[in-house]
Amino acid sequence: MIKFTLKCADEHAFDSWFQSAAAFDKLHGAGMVTCAVCGNSDVHKALMAPSLRSTPEDAPAPAPNPAEQALALLKRQIEENSEYVGLNFAREAREMHDGLTPERAIYGEAKPEEARKLIEDGVPVAPLPFVPRRKSN
């Protein structure tokens, strides 16, 4: 795993973990790396200091970061109490807002321009601080 400090075109800085540098390059090239603050896909790596391990390899892992624990709890609660609608998120959210379908808790994925349009139109949506796990049949 590798952590990169990233910045979007709007100068929002945030950290994100990737399986490898190659995984980041692949996801970034596919437009799947977006700003954790505003959803902008114009993201680049920011200047970072290297992180060096100061403990022996067989030392116990450090205690989990409280913020990471909170994010993991939030992710679990959302996944357990909401319906994953995948790439249909923008359509589903709009239909609920317009009263065409019953309201329910949903989460999924939307392109940045779809998310901006929902927000501009007053549809109550918010970006998730994690990438949803795609569910299969």
As given in the structure block, the two tokens for residue 38 are 């505003």
Full DSSP string of 1-13: -EEEEEEETT--E
Exposure string of 69-82, with b = 16+ CB inside 10 Å and e = fewer, is: eeeeeebeebeeee
Residues counted in the chain: 137
pLDDT at residue 54, as a whole number: 62
Q: What is the pLDDT of residues 28-44, one digit of tens each?
A: 998 889 988 888 889 99
pLDDT at residue 130, as a whole number: 83
| Dihedral angle sign, alpha carbons of residues 99, 102, 103, 108 | negative
CB 33 within 8 A of CB 46: no
pLDDT at residue 57, as a whole number: 65
Per-residue pLDDT of the chain (137 residues; tens, 9 = 90+): 888 889 999 989 888 888 888 989 999 998 889 988 888 889 999 877 666 666 666 667 666 678 788 888 899 999 999 999 999 999 999 999 999 999 999 999 999 999 999 999 999 999 988 887 766 55
Average pLDDT over the chain reads 86
